[in-house]
């Protein structure tokens, strides 16, 4: 398990439409477990061979990886952003990590196991939503 200290992030305007939000654009893979004005908790599941369409994650998140598999992440134009095989084998045990907001991307599970993640997104951190006073 990796633990990161809290980092201060500059608020940045969000350039992508709400229609690309993970629970809208990739709803078959992102299930809202809980949501309020401060957080959104997602249950993310990607089975072997599945392709998750282009979507975004507007807020940074603490993610708990319950099960892992090799995957490929591409940008909205299909260009390779990350191939997990280059980082070594997927973790064999559950792990926690921090991730920042993610611009438009797709994910393909190219491994033989499910990818199962619980993601706790922290609303209002790392991205300006365009509200008054922001």
How confident is the model over 14-61, as pLDDT tens digits?
A: 999 999 999 999 999 999 999 999 999 999 999 999 999 999 999 999
Write down the pTM of the prediction.
Answer: 0.83
Location of structure tokens 């993601």: 119
- Across the beta sheet with 102-109, the strand order is 51-57, 102-109, 71-75, 80-83
What does the pLDDT look like over 56-85, one tens digit per residue?
Answer: 999 999 999 999 999 999 999 999 999 999
Contacts of 119 (CB under 8 A, 6+ apart): 41, 42, 44, 57, 61, 62, 63, 64, 99
Domain residue ranges of the chain, discontinuous segments joined by +: 18-122
Bridge partner list, 25 = none
Please, what CATH class does the domain formed by 18-122 belong to?
Answer: mainly beta
């Amino acid at each position: 398990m990796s633990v990161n200290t809290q980092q201060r992030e500059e608020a940045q305007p969000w350039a992508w439409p709400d229609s690309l939000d993970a629970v809208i654009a990739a709803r078959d893979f992102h299930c809202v477990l809980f949501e309020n004005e401060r957080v959104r908790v997602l249950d993310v599941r990607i089975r072997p061979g599945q392709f998750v369409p282009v979507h975004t994650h507007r807020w940074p998140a603490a993610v708990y990886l319950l099960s892992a598999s090799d995957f490929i992440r591409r940008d909205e134009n299909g260009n390779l952003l990350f191939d997990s095989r280059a980082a070594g084998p997927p973790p064999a045990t559950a792990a926690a990590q921090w991730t920042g907001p993610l611009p438009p991307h797709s994910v393909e599970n190219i491994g033989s196991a499910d990818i199962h993640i619980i993601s706790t997104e922290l609303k209002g951190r790392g991205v300006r939503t365009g509200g008054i006073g922001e």
